[in-house]
Amino acid sequence: MKNYQEGDLIICKVTDIVKTTVFVEAINGIKGSIVFSEVAPGRIRNIRVHVVPNKVIVCKILNVRENHLFLSLRRVKDKDRKEILAQYKKEKTYEVIMKKLLGDNWDKIFGKITEQQTLGDFIDDARENPEILKKYFDKEQIEKIKKIIEEKKGKEKEIKREFKLTSKDPEGIIKLKELLKGIEGIVYLGNSKFSIKRKTLDLKKTDSEIKNDLELIEKSAKKQKCEFEVLKH
């Protein structure tokens, strides 16, 4: 088990929601849980506004006991959450690229690299010092990887989708904030209009993720009796 410490921020995937507990799994397979009071402040009327199975979230470790992580979602600052998720998605993009390049050999190499550092840090280091690639790859592979790193450098694209979200409820503002909490890249444009903006190296994948988030917002909006509309772009 990785040496987790109280206060660490980690990436987790939601695996299940049972009664008043959200069960998650860290990216290395360690199990954890979040009680509802640590998902969001105040009374939670609909937990799926905040988390659903398979959603990737950033959690703060409250306690580690018997190979189980006790976590909090609400104690993670928005700035930290956005930065960690952005780094995670960047690393996943590189994983896909490396897997295509190296095939079955990649899993073993990936394990060795991540024993020392994250894949994102390794790529950043390799960009500055290509010599470190020799530790894991042969000459032909190194040339391909260097080309990929150079192609991806500074070529992030931005994807933006706009939508309208309104509520006639007296506590409508609170409802809207709860609906959108945890969705990356939300910007309020005024007049009940919002946008989701994300920078990415993989346009197709990120576009699909944004569509999934919009579908999640729409479902939650219906349950909360809010009006939702995706605006043409």
Is the model's pLDDT at 83 over the cut of 60?
A: yes
The answer to whether residues 160 and 173 touch, using CB atoms and an 8 Å cutoff, is no
Q: Which residues pair with 229 in a beta bridge?
A: 164
Q: What is the pLDDT of residue 155?
A: 60
pTM for this predicted structure: 0.61
CATH superfamily membership of 9-76 = Nucleic acid-binding proteins (2.40.50.140)
Q: What does pLDDT average to over the chain? A: 88
Say how many Å lie between the first and final Cα of the chain, rounded: 47
Q: Provide the pLDDT confidence category of residue 111 given band limits of 50, 70 and 90.
A: confident
The answer to whether residues 222 and 228 touch, using CB atoms and an 8 Å cutoff, is yes
SS (H, E, C) 8-27: CEEEEEEEEEECCEEEEEEC
Would you give the DSSP letter of residue 225? T
Length of the chain in terms of residues written: 233
pLDDT digits (tens, 9 = 90+) for 188-202: 998 899 999 887 767
- Mean pLDDT confidence for 131-155: 83
Residue 52's CB: how many other CB atoms inside 10 A?
Answer: 14
The answer to whether residues 185 and 196 touch, using CB atoms and an 8 Å cutoff, is yes
Q: Provide the pLDDT confidence category of residue 233 given band limits of 50, 70 and 90.
A: low
- Mean pLDDT confidence for 206-212: 88
Q: What are phi and psi of 103, to 5 degrees?
A: 65, -140
Q: What is the pLDDT of residue 22?
A: 96
- Mean pLDDT confidence for 85-106: 86
Q: What is the pLDDT of residue 42?
A: 82
Q: Provide the pLDDT confidence category of residue 153 given band limits of 50, 70 and 90.
A: low
| Fold designation for 157-230 | Alpha-Beta Plaits (3.30.70)
